[in-house]
């Protein structure tokens, strides 16, 4: 019995990989201030080209490299702001 328990611990330690500069879907969602489902959708759409899958104890776990987040812009709903001054608009200044 002790042999199998020791063997299982060795196998678990060997399977668990150290991933430097890789983030889980939850960590990416927290950094970007969005939901986990948005991150999963973006991964499927190919916005994180360096994403890697790994088998975890509860299923597949996706890891996204931090380098994929550099320059990443979260698109918000609605019309984007124009950032024009009153003179550029050609209209009156509204107060």
pLDDT exceeds cutoff 50 at 15: no
CA gyration radius, the chain: 22
* Contact by Cβ (8 Å): 19, 35: no
pTM of the full predicted structure?
A: 0.62
Which helix (H) or strand (E) segment is 4 a member of?
Answer: helix 2-15
Q: How far apart are CA 43 and CA 51, in angstroms?
A: 7
Domain 18-74 classified CATH 3.30.2310?
Answer: no
Mean pLDDT, range 66-88, rounded to an integer: 78
Average pLDDT in the chain: 78
Nearest by Cα to 74 from 41, 26, 52: 41
In the prediction, which pLDDT does 80 show?
A: 72
**pLDDT tens digits along 39-55:** 999 999 999 999 999 99
């Amino acid at each position: 019995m002790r042999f199998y328990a020791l063997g299982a611990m060795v196998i678990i330690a060997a399977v668990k990989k150290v991933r430097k500069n890789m983030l889980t879907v939850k960590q990416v969602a927290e950094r970007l201030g969005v939901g986990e489902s948005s991150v999963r959708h973006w991964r499927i759409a190919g916005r994180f080209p360096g994403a890697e899958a790994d088998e975890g104890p509860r299923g597949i776990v996706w890891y996204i490299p931090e380098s994929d987040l550099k320059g990443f812009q979260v698109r918000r709903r609605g019309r984007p702001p124009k950032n024009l001054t009153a003179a550029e608009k050609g209209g009156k200044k509204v107060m």
